[in-house]
């Protein structure tokens, strides 16, 4: 490290130093007289490339201003920052002689101006306006920091919003993929199988009609009816579901008598329940009105009744009830069927998990019906839940807005 004291008093050198000092934030508010006093007190030093200016842990009391060159602030191999022309470091040493928290080394040959604490204290004592100018500069610096912090906070909030939006899009993409997988599974397997059966039975009847007895023909026709009906119901659910996924299915709420809508829908399943030896009962009285989309909630009721019939054994019972619950109506479809394992309850209404099982007479299912029920109930402003015990039946209940007149 070389100290250069030549020419310190020359006007050219003083003016150069004043120009440099004006770029140092803590002196930026000082007048020319004060800057000249500080300029005369600066000590010029030169350090070679790789030379240590000070080491971490050193107790020094000097501030440094870079005239030319480049230095790095580091702790061993870790570099915190780099400074070059007109940058400064160590300014806190002018008021605090604590040990250095990092080392500073010249990256290339560097010329520095050093201001010692002792000299600075003399200037403060002689020039009373120095403290005011420094305080003013620091206040401006703090104000700028506050503005910067405010901008950073705004940016941070914006970034978080963007992250939340990306996470939302990621979840929507996962749901979309699960929906797509479910859709293709149903088309490839669940919708194809009943049609294959219908085609097979139809071919047998066409080719060997005159060889079968009447009862056998009736059995074939009955099977064709059952599989065709199942395929139709599944296709209807698929179409309803597809509409709901594309937002083409709009909710059109109206005043609906739950007594009437329930009876209309369970009448469609009376024969099916009777053939299986199941008692299908509605305990919903007249005059109970909801404000709902009639078609959507009809689909919900049909799906729930169909499911209950599928998973209820011969001699079982299915009971539909509804009653006021605050400003809502709680609608329940309760059966005495085989029940659902507790660990599967929360999975019933999820598209990404398939837990569908065969019915008590080997009826097939896709799980799509309950997913549609959830979507339609929620579109009508309600919630759907399930409770069940193995071999003791299942109760699926949902809420919809009551009519408020």
Provide DSSP, 13-48. Answer: HHHHHHHHHHTSGGGTT--HHHHHHHHHH-EEEEE-
Q: pLDDT tens string for the chain (405 positions)?
A: 655 544 455 788 888 888 888 888 778 778 888 888 888 889 999 999 999 999 998 888 888 999 999 999 999 889 988 999 988 888 778 777 778 888 999 999 999 999 888 888 888 787 777 777 777 766 666 676 677 778 888 888 888 889 989 898 888 788 777 766 666 665 655 566 667 777 887 888 888 878 878 888 888 887 787 778 767 777 776 777 677 666 667 888 999 999 999 999 888 888 888 889 999 999 999 989 999 999 889 889 988 998 899 889 999 999 999 999 889 999 999 999 998 888 888 888 876 676 667 667 666 666 677 888 898 899 999 999 999 988 889 999 999 999 887
In this predicted structure, what is the pLDDT of residue 110?
95
Q: What would the pLDDT profile of 304-345 be if each residue is shown by its tens digit?
A: 998 899 889 999 999 999 999 889 999 999 999 998 888 888
The string over 33-63, giving b where at least 16 C-beta atoms fall within 10 Å of a residue's C-beta and e elsewhere, is ebbbbbbebbbbbbbeeeeebbeeeeebbbb
Tell me the CA distances in angstroms from 192 to 174, 184, 188, 225, 232, one per residue in order. 26, 11, 6, 16, 12
Interatomic CA distance for residues 212 and 202, integer angstroms = 13
Domains of the chain plus CATH, in order, are 2-127 (2.60.120.10), 191-248 (no CATH), 250-405 (3.30.565.10)
- pLDDT (0 to 100) of residue 308: 92
Tell me the sheet residues that pair with 46: 2, 111
Q: Are 90 and 62 in contact (CB under 8 A)?
A: yes
Instruction: Give the bridge partners for 84, in sequence order.
Output: 70
Q: Is 0.75 surpassed by the pTM of this model?
A: no
Distance, in Å, from the CA atom of 140 to the CA atom of 132, rounded to the nearest integer, reads 12
Are the CB atoms for 103 and 89 separated by under 8 Å?
no
């Amino acid at each position: 490290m070389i100290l250069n004291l030549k020419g310190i008093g020359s006007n050219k050198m003083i003016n150069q130093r004043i120009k440099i000092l004006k770029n140092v934030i803590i002196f930026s508010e000082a007048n020319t007289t004060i800057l000249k006093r500080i300029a005369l007190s600066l000590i010029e030093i030169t350090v070679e490339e790789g030379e240590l200016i000070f080491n971490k842990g050193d107790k020094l009391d000097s501030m440094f201003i870079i005239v030319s060159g480049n230095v790095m602030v580091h702790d061993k191999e870790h570099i915190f920052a780099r400074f070059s022309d007109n940058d400064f470091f160590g300014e806190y040493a002018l008021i605090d002689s604590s040990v250095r928290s990092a080392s500073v080394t010249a990256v290339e040959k560097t010329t520095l101006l050093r201001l010692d604490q002792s000299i600075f204290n003399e200037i403060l004592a002689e020039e009373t306006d120095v403290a005011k100018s420094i305080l003013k500069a620091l206040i401006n610096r703090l104000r700028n920091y506050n503005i910067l912090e405010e901008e950073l906070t705004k940016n941070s909030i914006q970034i978080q919003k963007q992250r939340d939006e990306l996470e939302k899009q990621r979840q929507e993409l996962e749901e979309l993929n699960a929906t797509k997988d479910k859709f293709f599974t149903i088309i490839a397997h669940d919708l194809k199988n009943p049609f294959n059966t219908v085609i097979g039975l139809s071919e047998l009847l066409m080719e060997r009609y005159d060889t079968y007895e009447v009862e056998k023909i009736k059995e074939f026709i009955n099977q064709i009816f059952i599989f065709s009906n199942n395929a139709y119901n599944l296709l209807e659910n698929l179409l309803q579901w597809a509409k709901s996924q594309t937002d083409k299915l709009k909710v059109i709420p109206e005043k609906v008598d739950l007594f009437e809508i329930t009876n209309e829908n369970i009448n469609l399943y009376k024969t099916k329940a009777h053939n299986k030896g199941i008692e299908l009962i509605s305990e919903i009285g007249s005059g109970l009105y909801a404000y709902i989309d009639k078609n959507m909630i009809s689909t919900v009721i049909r799906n729930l009744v169909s499911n209950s019939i599928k998973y209820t054994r011969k001699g079982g019972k299915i009971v539909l009830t509804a009653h006021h619950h605050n400003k809502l109506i709680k609608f329940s479809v309760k059966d005495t069927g085989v029940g659902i394992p507790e660990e599967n309850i929360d999975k019933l209404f999820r598209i990404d998990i398939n837990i569908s099982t065969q019915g008590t007479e080997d009826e097939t299912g896709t799980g799509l019906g309950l997913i549609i029920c959830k979507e339609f109930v929620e579109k009508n402003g309600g919630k759907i839940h399930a409770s069940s015990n193995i071999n003791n039946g299942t109760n699926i209940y949902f809420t919809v807005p009551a009519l408020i007149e």
